[in-house]
Structure 1
Amino acid sequence: MSNNKQRPIGVFDSGVGGLTNVRALMERLPMENIVYFGDTARVPYGVKSRATIETFTAQIVEFLLQNDVKALVIACNTIAAVAGQKVRAMAGNMPVLDVITAGAEAALATTRTNHIGVMATSTTVNSNAYARAIHSRNPDVRVQSQACPLLVPLVEEGWLDHEVTRLTAREYLKPLLADDIDTLVLGCTHYPLLKPLLKAEAPGITLVDSALTTAEAAAQALAAADLLNSGNGSADYRFYVSDIPLRFRTIGERFLGRSMEQIEMVSLG
């Protein structure tokens, strides 16, 4: 596109979860065109080596750059933790936002007691990425992280208000609540769909939705770079995946909160 402001935002994830970030961007920046890539053929990334994750990430970023994006959103905690620097090096001066940085900054702005909890996948917890991001900004904050490996399959099953999910979340929350946190980061792109359930199980705790915080960070970064789309036309959304597995559309539309019309399969690497 000849007009820099009308160029799309590129959003990417190892799978389908990053669509919660697309949803938040659609709501926060309704004029913006968006290109999404989910590496559904090679998910999950969490079990792969750093070198492999960086290789896959470079292929995705190259694809998005070929689609003339004006900004990049890393909507994947694993990629943000392992390959964030790689993405920024490839992007040059382009704004690059990621869920970990945005989530950490929002948690620090929210906490009153300096006791922050993080719910995430085992890979993200083991990477210590949220604690590092928080402590680099305020070393005095206490961070308690909890791996929640069972929540992703429950969300993908659609059990958002199921008793099994409620009991599972309750178990994961126990050590966090025992640590007297006042702020809880939802450190996985699947978890925003569980906000109503988590609010009920952890009353009085402020939830930090990394999808919402990343969308807000994107809005600020685009404004600072004078790249906000001020056009009057309807926004264009394109969805690319490396495989279209069984139930992808059903799960994707649950995450996105609307129908997915333009899904195209592309092969990378």
Structure 2
Amino acid sequence: MFHPSDPIGILDSGIGGFSVVRQVQRTLPGEELVYFGDGAHIPYGNHPEDKIVAMARYMFRFMEDHHVKALLVACNTISCVIGQCEGEVSCPTFNAVQVGAEAAARLSVDKIGVISTVFTHNSRCYPEGILARSPKKLVVLSCGCPDLARLVEHNLGDPAGMAEVEADLRLEMDGIVREGIQCCVLGCTHYPLVADSIRRLYPGLPLIDPAEEMARALKEYLEGERLLASDDRLGGLTIYTTGDVKEYALRARQVGLERIGSVSFYPPMTL
């Protein structure tokens, strides 16, 4: 049984899920949030499937121990294997691929681009999810980016590092942009953190941010189940990471996260 005062859990392979936290704080400012970023094992998209599933289950159990009333699986790579994590948490889960595919399928376009990690690309989760939900025939062009998530993770806010991020964006995106895509799904939660760079490189290209869709879906669920936190106070944010605590604290401030109570280390799963 859940209570409105219970926290909401958000998990990701690294700092990318901060893009989801940012949207949830804007949409549901009264909610308490618990964040888990598995920085020790980033990028998830370069791991084999069995390791991704094991790491996901490790984080799911962490969230179950914290009695979250809803879990947002920000990591697109984990979203592709979420069916193998059933039973690890008792609360409802919302995943990035599901809401991102639904948002893309609603658009009045004929050609959609997707940029993601290599694992997400190879799984075909986005193309299959979009095509299954679309009422019309679409072309979906997917691009797997082996280095982009890592570059964003470690270079956000550093002008010299961001030049490397933008060079990698051009390397990965030029091909699908030349194919005439009419929008692009940001199929990794790290990518919305550099959305301004993408817009500067490809002006006029609409971007679909699953983080926004997840926040909206969460709000609808909480309202329907009468689980919204009281609006008489602002909710806080507790961050756990298997990575560098100081770096996570810095990145959280850089992306504009609010009401950060603590940033703590949590032991990583041994692979």
TM range (shorter): 0.7 to 0.9
Match of 2:96 among 71, 77, 99: 99
Q: In structure 2, the residue corresponding to 1:247 is in which secondary structure? A: helix
Partner residue, 1:86: 84
State the Cα distance separating 1:254 from its structure 2 match. 2.4
**Contact 1:102-1:210 at 8 Å conserved across structures:** yes
Q: How does 1:246-261 map to 2 (within 5 A)?
A: 247-258=247-258, 260-261=260-261
Distance 1:43 1:265, change over 3 A: same
Match of 1:158 among 144, 156, 159: 156
**Contact 2:239-2:264 at 8 Å conserved across structures:** yes
State the Cα distance separating 1:258 from its structure 2 match. 4.7
Return the alpha-carbon distance in structure 1 between the equivalents of residues 40 and 111 of structure 2. Answer: 38
Matched, 1:12 2:8: no
Return the alpha-carbon distance in structure 2 between the equivalents of residues 223 and 87 of structure 1. Answer: 26
Distance 1:42 1:214, change over 3 A: same
Q: How does 1:59-78 map to 2 (within 5 A)?
A: 59-78=58-77
Return the alpha-carbon distance in structure 2 between the equivalents of residues 41 and 165 of structure 1. Answer: 21
Letter paired with 2:115: M
Partner residue, 1:113: 109
**Contact 1:253-1:259 at 8 Å conserved across structures:** no
State the Cα distance separating 1:221 from its structure 2 match. 2.0
Match of 1:145 among 142, 159, 166: 142
Letter paired with 1:152: A
**Contact 2:43-2:150 at 8 Å conserved across structures:** no
Distance 1:11 1:243, change over 3 A: same
**How many pairs were matched up?**
265
State the Cα distance separating 1:208 from its structure 2 match. 0.4
Letter paired with 2:70: A
Partner residue, 1:128: 124
Runs of 4 or more consecutive aligned structure 1 residues displaced over 6 Å after TM superposition: none
Distance 1:239 1:248, change over 3 A: closer
Distance 1:160 1:225, change over 3 A: farther
Distance 1:12 1:76, change over 3 A: same
Return the alpha-carbon distance in structure 2 between the equivalents of residues 70 and 248 of structure 1. Answer: 24
Return the alpha-carbon distance in structure 2 between the equivalents of residues 171 and 52 of structure 1. Answer: 28
Return the alpha-carbon distance in structure 2 between the equivalents of residues 233 and 126 of structure 1. Answer: 44
Q: Deviations along 1:155-188, whole A, 9 cap, x unmatched? A: 2312677544444323322221222211110111
Distance 1:163 1:40, change over 3 A: closer
Letter paired with 2:106: A
Which ranges of structure 1 fall in alignment gaps of 5 or more residues?
none
Q: How does 1:207-246 map to 2 (within 5 A)?
A: 207-244=207-244
State the Cα distance separating 1:268 from its structure 2 match. 5.7
State the Cα distance separating 1:63 from its structure 2 match. 1.4
Distance 1:30 1:168, change over 3 A: same
State the Cα distance separating 1:74 from its structure 2 match. 0.3
**Contact 1:11-1:37 at 8 Å conserved across structures:** yes
Q: CA RMSD in A?
A: 2.4
Answer with 145-154 or 60-69: which moved more: 145-154
**Contact 1:182-1:204 at 8 Å conserved across structures:** no
Return the alpha-carbon distance in structure 2 between the equivalents of residues 214 and 182 of structure 1. Answer: 22
Letter paired with 2:96: V
Letter paired with 2:234: S
TM-score between both structures, scaled by the size of structure 2: 0.87
